[in-house]
Amino acid sequence: MKSDNKLSSAMNTDVSRRGFLGGTAALGVTVASTSALMGKKAYAAKKGGHLRAGIAHGSTTDSLDPATYENGFSLALDYTLFNHLGEVDHTGAVRPELAESWEASPDATTWSFKLRQGVEFHNGKTLEASDVIASIEYHMGEDTKSAAKSLLKQVKSMKADGKNEVVIELEAGNADFPYVISDYHIAIKPAKDGKIDPTEGIGTGPYALENYEPGVRLMANKNKNYFKSDRAHFDQVELITIIDLAARQNALTTGEIDMMDRADLKTVHLLKRQKGINVMETVGYKHYTMPMRTDTAPFDKNDLRLALKYSLDREELVKKILRGHGVVGNDHPISPTNQYHAEGLAQRMYDPDKAKFHFKKAGLEGTTIQLSAADAAFPGAVDAAVLYKEHAAKAGIDIEVVREPNDGYWSNVWMKKGWCACYWGGRPTEDWMFTTAYAAGADWNDTFWNHDRFNELLLAARAELDSDKRRTMYYEMQEIVSNDGGVVVPMFANYVFAASDKILPSEQMAGNWELDGSKFTERWSFA
Amino acid sequence: MSQILKMVAQRFALGFLTLFIVSLIIFLGIELLPGDIAEEILGQSATPETVAAFRKELGLDVPAHIRYFDWLWGMLNGDMGRSLANKREISELIGLRFGNTLFLAVTAAAISVPLALTLGVLAALYRHSFYDRAVNVVTLSSISFPEFFVAYILIFLLSVTFPIFPSIANISDATPFWEKVYKVLLPALTLTLVVVAHMMRMTRAAIINLLASPYIEMANLKGLSRARVIVKHALPNALAPIINVVVINLAYLIVGVVVVEVVFVYPGLGQLMVDSVSKRDLPVVQASAMIFAGTYVLLNLLADILSILTNPRLLHPR
């Protein structure tokens, strides 16, 4: 299978669906398009300039080690200094980046990646297969602390075929493997004696590290030998950690920075009114969830799970918690941006009568259900839980909101308490999302859910290269999760960010992460 | 003089004891907090395996008391160790941040101390006048607002409405000195508004207190001018309490500016400590806590010595 034919056929359907979304604003959201923002002005990237970006993340405990990348700052740093084998474009498809092309065996178990030739690291070393293998190996093995470890468990063997080809054999077929191997953790770094130095900032990326002060700023200068000639327009980029929301918005309005992520949803309408500032939003994979432990009473009863699913007014949550910057969820984690999003699946509505019916059937009348929440789960999680309580009360279900401390939320509450609030950044493919959090026994199966038919379909769909067959299988899986799964998915949250009008974003932005797939330093320019 | 030396030696010993106790409390406190650095850094993406691997890499599988004494031994030998989170030398990490914090504190002190003393002396001089009342109302109001509020008001006035100063103090090593001063003026001004009332009121009260003394009456009877009586005769005797309050405020300028650092995105020590606590980066927390505690101990000592030098009677408490 050539990446160019098989994957692009999958992509075409995606493009048309997305085109539909953008054209009719079917769900009330649009993918921000630069031409619309810029009026009639023609799209022309200008070279040069010093970009200052205010990022809502970053802590003094961060490091350059890709194994621990997890916040918005490390993502931006990652895409500024490094490249990966592939990159996700604005249609949600994965495109070759450091790889020139890839091919899979018919059962999708053996993948060979042809590397782009003549790509240089910032220290002048030329990219070879051994660098790629060492960079991947760093995330594998017993004693790695990498978050990409579970993704790479499926890798059986890796070998270099000459200097410019890497052949990876998998335990079982995986049609989405190019997505997996392009995960942001797996940054390609130069190898020395078969190992990479995780703490140094040398990559092949659009900018070379000048100075990094964790929790304060990153300075990087243009990589003059960058292999993408039409990218990396700035001379210098500066990423500044500005965690305080008011400080970030002030800095943008007073011109201290050129762009920022995470606009405040409560005041974004005021920000929009400011002259010279463009507010943008993209639909991504990010969703807010409320997982229940299906292995623990009372959540082991599907009737209770259904009762709770019916007793939530999602529209109100989107309106009040997201201020309209998002779409309602349907109790499964596959976003409207995903390739195989089940469009035909009926939207679950707020229905106190049905909720009452299932609650009674579960035999739990009169009991109190505890819902743990803290704003660490997502901004507004506590408010969302209180709204949930109000909605459920109309169905005669008594929800007790347990307010948990933000500190230690992920270690003491999530996956420990019976029912809690949570968020997922989402994943670019259905398989990846399901494998991470819904497959039986998965490390982050936060609902401790185990469904035979689902697990069977997961394996079958993963190795299936036929797009139509995969679609049918993924549709069924979404339906199963929605009707039987232990998760309430009230909504998908948009990424909302802003820039001064001196900045020219990409014509069409990627939605896999905030800020144009977090690749703004490479793709944006001064107007 | 030897008595002063003896006191200094005693106080130093006591200071070391204090620091030791502080380090113990901080260590125990962090041990009691839920989660450890491996869990906090890996966050939502932590699995039991990766957490265990991370712990081993950091040496967190060693019992707590051994880690503590290892750390203590290192400190006594002048080795602060390395940050668990990113393996950076703590001395280097803190050095940079502490330098920034001191820079802001010194700038703020350079504005606030002379300002507070002048305002205080003038307020004592023109007691109960309109000026006295106005200064009191203004300074007391500014101290009564939370720091972030004062900061936002200043940003609104001086960088949004009248764009004179930048709204964030985005400085680095490479920033030239005067540009640095310019960039930290707004945070320094915020701090000034927060500390000036305390020092000003103390100055005023101390001087007014002395104005009832017989030797001031004598000076008045000699026909000296009011300003001369206050500056020449009252002020030197009022110095002890004033020095005390000034020094306590200086200590506050160094250790208490976290909120101001956050609002102005200023890379100081406070932010470092907050980040490190939330990620349970114990060696960094310990080192910053030692610096903060040491600052208080040293400045307190300095305050006492200066008070005694200006008023040797204090050596012999009645």
A24, burial (CB in 10 Å: exposed 0-12, middle 13-18, buried 19+): exposed
Task: Please give the radius of gyration of chain B, using alpha carbons only, rounded to the nearest integer.
Answer: 24
Does the beta-carbon distance from A145 to B159 stay under 8 Å? no
Residues 6+ positions from A286 with CB-CB distance below 8 Å: A335, A423, A424, A425, A426, A492, A493, A495
CA distances from B97 to A57, A155, B100, B298 (A): 19, 43, 5, 19
Grade residue B45 by pLDDT with cuts at 50, 70 and 90: low
Residues 6+ positions from B316 with CB-CB distance below 8 Å: none
pTM of the prediction? 0.83
The SS3 of residue A258 is coil
ipTM: 0.82
Mean pLDDT of B9-25: 88
Check whether A35 has a pLDDT greater than 50: no
Q: Token digits for A448?
A: 């401790």
- The closest alpha carbon to A369, from A483, A451, A488, belongs to A488
Q: Are B243 and B306 in contact (CB under 8 A)?
A: yes
Residue scoring higher pLDDT (A378 or A29): A378
Alpha-carbon dihedral sign for residues A278, A279, A281, A286: positive
Check whether A242 has a pLDDT greater than 70: yes
Question: CB B24: neighbour CB atoms within 10 A?
Answer: 12
Distance CA A274, CA A377 (A): 31
Distance from the Cα of B204 to chain A's closest Cα (Å) equals 36
Mean pLDDT of B125-129: 87
A200, burial (CB in 10 Å: exposed 0-12, middle 13-18, buried 19+): middle
Give contacts of A149 with chain B, Cβ < 8 Å.
47, 49-50
Distance from the Cα of A58 to chain B's closest Cα (Å) equals 9
What are A56-111's pLDDT values in tens digits?
Answer: 888 888 889 898 887 889 999 999 999 999 998 888 788 899 999 999 888 889 99
Beta bridge partners of A166: A113, A160
Give contacts of B83 with chain A, Cβ < 8 Å.
61
What are B131-160's pLDDT values in tens digits?
Answer: 999 999 999 898 888 888 999 999 999 988
Percent of chain A with pLDDT strictly greater than 70: 92
Distance from the Cα of B194 to chain A's closest Cα (Å) equals 19
For residues A435-465, b (16+ Cβ closer than 10 Å) or e, as one string? bbbbbeebbbbbbbbebeebbebbeebbbbb
Distance CA B294, CA B254 (A): 11
Phi, then psi, of A77 in degrees rounded to 5 = -60, -45
Distance CA A402, CA A491 (A): 21
Distance CA B272, CA B285 (A): 8
Instruction: Give the lowest-confidence range in A206-220, A347-361, B275-289.
Output: B275-289
B72: phi > 0 → left, psi -120 to 50 → alpha, else beta; which?
alpha
Distance from the Cα of A100 to chain B's closest Cα (Å) equals 30
Check whether B271 has a pLDDT greater than 60: yes
Residue scoring higher pLDDT (A498 or A93): A498
pLDDT at A448: 92
Q: Token digits for A481?
A: 């999760």
Candidate from B34, B49, B86 with C-beta closest to A407? B34
Does the beta-carbon distance from A213 to B87 stay under 8 Å? no
Q: Does the CB of B262 have a partner CB in chain A at under 8 Å?
A: yes
Grade residue A384 by pLDDT with cuts at 50, 70 and 90: very high
Distance CA A266, CA A249 (A): 12
Q: Which residue of A has its CA nearest to B49?
A: A145
Distance from the Cα of A428 to chain B's closest Cα (Å) equals 17
Grade residue A52 by pLDDT with cuts at 50, 70 and 90: very high
The mean of the pLDDT values for chain A is: 85
Check whether B125 has a pLDDT greater than 50: yes
Q: Are B286 and B26 in contact (CB under 8 A)?
A: yes
pLDDT at A43: 58
Check whether A37 has a pLDDT greater than 80: no
CA torsion angle A192 A195 A201 A207 (round to 10): 70
Chain B, 199 to 258: residues with Cβ < 8 Å from chain A are none
Give contacts of A422 with chain B, Cβ < 8 Å.
44
Grade residue B317 by pLDDT with cuts at 50, 70 and 90: low
Instruction: Give the lowest-confidence range in A198-207, B103-112, B194-203, B273-282.
Output: B273-282
Residues 6+ positions from A204 with CB-CB distance below 8 Å: A82, A83, A98, A119, A120, A121, A122, A127, A188, A223, A227
pLDDT at A21: 32
Question: How many pairs of residues across A and B have Cβ atoms under 8 Å apart?
Answer: 138
A465: phi > 0 → left, psi -120 to 50 → alpha, else beta; which?
alpha
Residues 6+ positions from A429 with CB-CB distance below 8 Å: A176, A179, A338, A339
Check whether A214 has a pLDDT greater than 80: yes
CA distances from A241 to A53, B264, B302 (A): 9, 11, 37
Does the beta-carbon distance from B167 to A247 stay under 8 Å? yes
Give contacts of A68 with chain B, Cβ < 8 Å.
41-42
Q: Which residue of B has its CA nearest to A423?
A: B44
pLDDT at B110: 94
Does the beta-carbon distance from A63 to B85 stay under 8 Å? yes
Grade residue B43 by pLDDT with cuts at 50, 70 and 90: low
Q: Does the CB of B67 have a partner CB in chain A at under 8 Å?
A: no
3-state SS of A479-490 is: HHHHHHCCEEEE
Q: Are A92 and A14 in contact (CB under 8 A)?
A: yes
Mean pLDDT of B178-204: 91
Residues 6+ positions from A130 with CB-CB distance below 8 Å: A160, A191, A194
What are B218-245's pLDDT values in tens digits?
Answer: 888 988 888 888 888 888 888 888 888 8
What are A301-317's pLDDT values in tens digits?
Answer: 899 999 999 999 999 99
Q: Does the CB of B34 have a partner CB in chain A at under 8 Å?
A: yes
Q: Are A329 and A338 in contact (CB under 8 A)?
A: no
Candidate from A60, A217, A242 with C-beta closest to B272? A60
pLDDT at B289: 86
Does the beta-carbon distance from A60 to B276 stay under 8 Å? yes
The SS3 of residue B156 is helix
Distance CA A468, CA A465 (A): 9
Grade residue A398 by pLDDT with cuts at 50, 70 and 90: very high
Task: State the maximum Cα–Cα separation within chain B, in Å, rounded to a whole number.
Answer: 85
Q: Does the CB of B83 have a partner CB in chain A at under 8 Å?
A: yes
Give contacts of A145 with chain B, Cβ < 8 Å.
38, 42, 50-51, 53-54, 57
Candidate from A61, A240, A257 with C-beta closest to B86? A61
